[in-house]
Amino acid sequence: MKEIKVYDTTLRDGSQAEDVHFSTEDKVRIACRLDELGIDYIEGGWPASNPTDQKFFHEIKNYALKNAKITAFGSTHPAKRTPESDPNLQSLINAETDVVTIFGKTWDVHVRDALRTTLERNLELIYNSLAYLRPKVKELFFDAEHFFDGFKANKEYALTCLKKALDGGAEVVVLCDTNGGTTPMEIKEILTQVKEEIPNIPFGIHTHNDSELAVANTLIAADMGAVQVQGTMNGYGERCGNANLCSIIPCLQLKMGITCIPEENLSLLTSAAYYVAEIANIGAFHRQPFVGRSAFAHKGGIHVSAVRRNARTYEHIVPEVVGNKQRILLSDLAGQSNILFKAKRYGFHLDKDDPFVLDLLSKLKNLESQGYEYSAAEASFELLLNRTLGRARKYFSLDSYRVLESKRGHEEEPVSEATVMVRVGGMLEHTAAAGKGPVNALDNSLRKALEKFYPSLSEMHLVDFKVRVFSINNTNNFSGTASRVKVLIESADHSAQWVTVGVSFNIIEASRQALEDSLNYKLFKDDQAKLTKAIKEAEKE
């Protein structure tokens, strides 16, 4: 297999995304995870630009990375300075990394309008900067900024910039589609000409995603002999983002036969993608190829029937190879195959002609027609399944509830209070509690009533709360503030996370349904864990 080096710029280029900010501690944690994944180069940042990056380069020295080389990033020196007097180049040396990458202008428009210097002086900036750094670092790369636009505008000058970079000591010249507007056809044509003009050129590729072509352009370059591919985890980056390494890595490895990370590490890709998303505090993109939650999710009954027989019918790779998994969803599109598959996953081996299957399918379609979304709330579906089979206990019943909202002064926050009457094993509990909003007040009141019976409820906490407005296509359809709402509540304890759903014209009632399901699921899950433990202990005896 051919080999190619992966250069990650999540910590620098990725942090320029509109919603992304990394602290020094965040950067260190991500760097360690990328090292574990097997990334070759991790661009830590631009030490001359901010204190966070300076601190990162100091802090990361305390970690013994196994695979990755930390890289410092900067620019060529200014036209009015020499390399020796440039604080930017000095900061790269002070970062004390084995690898340094600097970028320079290769598009004549940028030289004149951004740098405001001559084309000849820009060539000097490229050569002098690299030649100054060359004896001071082990590896030196040059990012040819705006190369493809520069090539289209002034081919000879763009190529001369590359030659100057190589003369100055760059080991790899990285060709950048900085504006993200180049097509794969143009990439191929330009690279063909570059290789003809500069035979055996050691080139890398750095693409942006403004035309939704960053991954495709990167793969074209890899196929044409690139020795390095640059990108970011989850495609984070300025504007529309950078080339997504979560797609590039498996495409290279599984589709093109090009080794880029250790084969045994490929299964770490999905968890690494989610880890970076969590630290970035950005919700994971479920429909992201390879690593997204929906990447191997099947909803239509015909699809499910096929993948149960042979997963290859609707899956282009085995999900587990990249650390993902197949998911079968429940919806009003579901058929018996979906029910059988989900039931088997929960420990029920049913026959397609079992009346229970038809009964559950009928209930499911009816509920989804009202707006319940079990494809996104599998905990609610598991409860429905077990209740229909008579396996879920009735842990409590909510006889009544009342939620009061009041606001006294214009500057004061509203006050929320909930009162509930809950019946547990024949005993009636009547409690009240305040909260930060009506749903929190209802949650606090329910817990106050139930925790004396079920102490384990204190272990669970809210992870996410979503409200969606939707319309039902029937004669009772309402719109605006009278619309139906769907509430999805994600909860967690020390061992798991789960999502439950509620639907109503009343947002409090929809929240109550989802909240009640969440509490019931926690208790049901605890019962199942106790049962499993008891069976294992009995088997030992």
Identify whether 220 is part of a domain.
yes
Residues 37 and 79 in one domain: yes
Task: Provide the pLDDT for residue 335.
Answer: 55
- Rama region for 69: left / alpha / beta (φ>0; ψ in -120 to 50; rest): beta
Residues 526 and 405 in one domain: no
Residues 335 and 478 in one domain: no
**pLDDT mean over 433-441:** 91
Average pLDDT, the chain: 89
Identify whether 288 is part of a domain.
no
Question: What CATH number does the domain containing 413 carry?
Answer: 3.30.160.740
Q: How far apart are the first and last CA of the chain?
A: 53
Residues 184 and 44 in one domain: yes
Task: Provide the pLDDT for residue 333.
Answer: 46
Is residue 258 within 8 A of residue 266, CB to CB? The reply is: no
Final residue of a structural domain among 249, 280, 311 = 280
Task: Provide the pLDDT for residue 459.
Answer: 93
Strand partners, 464: 490
Residues 120 and 27 in one domain: yes
Residues 121 and 270 in one domain: yes
DSSP calls for 490-515: EEE-SS-EEEEEEEESSHHHHHHHHH
**pLDDT mean over 261-268:** 96
Final residue of a structural domain among 235, 252, 280 = 280
Tokens 């990361």: give the residue. Answer: 60
Full domain range(s) for residue 205 = 2-280
Q: Burial level of 18, CB count in 10 A (0-12/13-18/19+)? A: exposed
Task: Provide the pLDDT for residue 346.
Answer: 63
Amino acid sitting at position 96: E
Structure tokens at 358: 């038809």
Task: Provide the pLDDT for residue 481.
Answer: 61
Q: Give the span between the Cα atoms of 143 and 158, in whole angstroms.
A: 12
Q: Give the span between the Cα atoms of 444 and 442, in whole angstroms.
A: 5
Long-range contacts: 463-471, Cβ < 8 Å, 24+? Answer: 463/490, 463/491, 463/492, 463/497, 464/488, 464/489, 464/490, 465/439, 465/489, 465/490, 465/511, 467/507, 467/510, 470/371
Q: What is the pLDDT of residues 234-260, one digit of tens each?
A: 999 999 999 999 999 999 999 999 999
User: Taking 50 as the threshold, does the pLDDT of residue 157 lie above it?
Assistant: yes
Identify whether 379 is part of a domain.
no
Is residue 78 within 8 A of residue 51, CB to CB? The reply is: no
Distances (CA, A) of 416 to 152, 433, 435, 504, 505: 63, 9, 6, 20, 20
Pairing status of strand 327-328 against strand 139-145: unpaired
Task: Provide the pLDDT for residue 298.
Answer: 80
- Maximum average pLDDT range among 336-340, 346-350, 373-377, 395-399: 395-399
Residues 350 and 416 in one domain: no
Identify whether 374 is part of a domain.
no
Q: What is the pLDDT of residues 384-414, one digit of tens each?
A: 888 877 777 889 999 999 999 998 777 888 8
Percent of the chain surpassing pLDDT 90: 67
Residues 447 and 318 in one domain: no
Percent of the chain surpassing pLDDT 70: 90
Q: Give the span between the Cα atoms of 533 and 69, in whole angstroms.
A: 46
Tokens 């080999």: give the residue. Answer: 3
Is residue 220 within 8 A of residue 188, CB to CB? The reply is: yes
Strand partners, 404: 417
Give the pTM. Answer: 0.72
Identify whether 383 is part of a domain.
no
Distances (CA, A) of 536 to 339, 347, 524, 525, 529: 28, 16, 19, 17, 11
**Dihedrals phi, psi of 432, to nearest 5 degrees:** -140, 150
Residues 7 and 56 in one domain: yes
Residues 22 and 87 in one domain: yes
Q: Is 37 helix (H, G, I), strand (E, B) or coil?
A: helix
- Number of compact structural domains in the chain: 4
Identify whether 140 is part of a domain.
yes
Final residue of a structural domain among 248, 280, 312 = 280
Question: What CATH number does the domain containing 496 carry?
Answer: 3.30.160.340
Pairing status of strand 415-424 against strand 497-504: unpaired
Residues 12 and 124 in one domain: yes
Residue 49: CB atoms within 10 Å: 15
Identify whether 262 is part of a domain.
yes
Identify whether 39 is part of a domain.
yes
Residues 302 and 224 in one domain: no
Helices 87-94 and 119-133, interaxial angle, to 10°? 20
- Rama region for 148: left / alpha / beta (φ>0; ψ in -120 to 50; rest): alpha
CA proximity to 235, closest of 298, 288, 283, 167: 288
186-190, 219-223, 502-506 — which is least confidently predicted? Answer: 502-506
Structure tokens at 65: 């990375």
Task: Provide the pLDDT for residue 470.
Answer: 67
User: Taking 70 as the threshold, does the pLDDT of residue 478 lie above it?
Assistant: no
Res. 366 pLDDT band, cuts 50 70 90: confident
